[in-house]
Homo-oligomer: A and B are copies of this chain.
Amino acid sequence: MGWSKDTKRDGGRGYHHGNLREALVRATLDLIAEKGPASFTFAEAARAAGVSAAAPYRHYRDRDDLMADIAFRGFNLLEADLVRAWNEGSPDPATALENVGRAYLKFAGSEPAYYSAMFEAAIPLDRNLALRDAGERAFGILRVASEKIIAGMPQSSRPPALMMASHIWALSHGVASLFGRGDSARRLLPMQPEELLEAAMLIYREGLQAQNPEGK
């Protein structure tokens, strides 16, 4: 990976940590993955990062501040994953959207700690504008994808893009949090979450195409 300073070596850290903020985030993710987003303390995170209990105060106001930062980073990572999966709509919008769905599930499954900080830590969005915006940006990918797909549909049956994007998000999030979580709260089904989501998106898109011009 390559740290910036090689004065930082395990076991011989020295007085200054050098990258405590990042180390706290990583340590906290481990704690969340291990015991859930609720069951650890600020002091525990400091200890896990190998630092005194007072040190985190140089970087975060309190525990909630740390959690919000983790959720923020999580949304940015998710956004990057979704952008990559969307790949500007290649090879074709329908396939690219399927890839986006798969990427969403993969993120939820492989980063349960980020995921639960993002969606289950009950961080009030009306007091964390940066966090809400990061969430909106990730959602934006679904919106762009929906718009592209809608543009390829006959004029008469085009649904509102925002609605379609919301539907896809709800479906992906629902599948991920009920059946695709990476922890012991996961529910079992006779099919893979990826298959389940893929089938749903297929049916949904067929339903859109079948939509009556005058219907509703």
Interface residues of A (CB under 8 A from B): 36-38, 116, 119-127, 132, 135, 159, 162-163, 166-167, 169-175, 177-179, 183-187, 189-191, 196-197, 199-200, 202-211, 216
Q: Which single member of B122, B173, B185, B203 contacts A125 (CB below 8 Å)?
A: B185
Q: Which single member of B37, B124, B191 contacts A184 (CB below 8 Å)?
A: B124
Q: Determine how close the nearest CB of chain B comes to the CB of A107; give it in whole angstroms.
A: 15
Query: What residues of B have a CB within 8 angstroms of the CB of A135 in the complex?
Result: 187
Q: By the criterion CB–CB under 8 Å, are A122 and B116 in contact?
A: yes
Q: By the criterion CB–CB under 8 Å, are B184 and A126 in contact?
A: yes
> From A122, which residue of chain B is reached at the shortest CB distance?
B36
A167 and B207 contact, Cβ closer than 8 Å, known pairs A162-B189, A162-B190:
no
Per CB-CB distance, the 9 closest pairs between chain A and chain B, nearest first, are A207-B207, A174-B174, A170-B174, A38-B38, A203-B207, A124-B184, A206-B207, A36-B122, A210-B210
